[in-house]
Amino acid sequence: MARAKIALIGSGMIGGTLAHLAALKELGDIVLFDIADGIPQGKALDISEAGPVDKYDSTISGTTDYADIAGADVCIVTAGVARKPGMSRDDLLGINLKVMKSVGEGIKEHAPNAFVICITNPLDAMVWALQKFSGLPSEKVCGMAGVLDSARFRHFLAEEFNVSVKDVTAFVLGGHGDTMVPLTRYSTVAGIPLPDLVDMGWTTQDKLDAIVQRTRDGGAEIVGLLKTGSAYYAPAASAIEMAEAYLKDQKRLLPAAAALSGEFGQKDMYVGVPTVIGAGGIERIANIKLSKEEQAGFDKSVDAVKGLMEACIAIDGSL
């Protein structure tokens, strides 16, 4: 059986890391695409040259020509600009919306059967615009943010409880931003819900609240430290987990920005929800029951995303 083909649209900090991780896991042959001539080709050659050491036979190529992504099974989109200190994710909208238009046209023409994972910020608006620009079925276009946000949450919880990250599960809902909604009652250590761990004295509610806030601020914390850009190792690892679930039909239940058609009382928009990812793409959305407080947090996040969508429509009336 022919190897899968993975196209990385954007070969910057996340794109290069995606290529390296996909090669290490031998998920398929990899095409790095960018408009900055030399970057995709240089990174592709460098990662190829690591192949003999790490023993992967994936072919990795770099290009500035969309024709070279032809027939891709997965497209992971990081094209656009990233934040600098003092910028919010929303500040990127004006520039990145235009980038999504060109990326959407490229995918529509050359890889219409791909499973598309959008990473570009502001994520929930960009993935919605990308699906419209590309015209791909909505179940084949999703956004990566929830896996990253829950991974950040899980890392902080594992540190707090001094337990293996392997046994910490976490649930986050809503947009990728300050309004994200970490669900503590569905987050556990080996199935023990966080509220029970508070009752057991493993942590306090104040410490838990601080961890939730640090998760919300996770992106800004790294931007403030790096000063030259934003996070890329954990975002890349998160998108690769989603791509693997599609390529291997794993039916993983993962948080993702997905198209809603009535779930959680919303439709015609993308926002972070629990999804089942398999060979059909976003195969199901777990329409979990939310408490009044959780629903209010989710609705606030939905309103923030709708505000970004309106800003997009004001810029590009074709949306």
Strands ordered across the beta sheet of 168-173: 168-173, 181-189, 192-193
CB nearer to ligand TXD: pick between 121 and 188 = 121
Site for ligand TXD in 128-157 (CB under 6 A): 144-145, 148
Residue 121 annotated in ligand binding: yes
Whose CA is closest to 125, among 77, 172, 176? Answer: 176
Q: Which of 21, 99, 197, 260 binds ligand TXD (CB under 6 A)?
A: 99
Site for ligand TXD in 156-215 (CB under 6 A): 176
Residue 13 annotated in ligand binding: yes
* 74, HSE (Cβ side, Cα atoms, 13 Å): 33
Cα(119)–Cα(127) distance, rounded to whole angstroms? Answer: 8
Q: Is residue 229 close enough to count as binding ligand TXD by CB under 6 A? A: yes
Site for ligand TXD in 282-301 (CB under 6 A): none
Site for ligand TXD in 24-83 (CB under 6 A): 34-36, 39, 78-83
**Residue 234 C-beta: closest distance to ligand TXD, Å:** 8
In the complex, residue closest to ligand TXD by CB: 12
Of 20, 110, 155, 176, which one is the catalytic site residue? 176
Whose CA is closest to 30, among 59, 52, 50? Answer: 59
Residue 87 parent element (H or E): none
Q: Is residue 102 close enough to count as binding ligand TXD by CB under 6 A? A: yes
Find tokens 């520039």 and name the residue. 95
Q: Which of 28, 177, 218, 235 binds ligand TXD (CB under 6 A)?
A: 235
- Exposure string over 14-37, b if 16+ CB within 10 A, otherwise e: bbbbbbbbbbbeebbbbbbbbeee
Which residue type does 207 have?
Answer: K
Residue 176 annotated among the catalytic residues of the structure: yes
Specify binding-site residues for NAD(+).
10-15, 34, 96, 119-121
Specify binding-site residues.
10-15, 34, 83, 89, 96, 119-121, 152
Which residues are known to be catalytic?
176
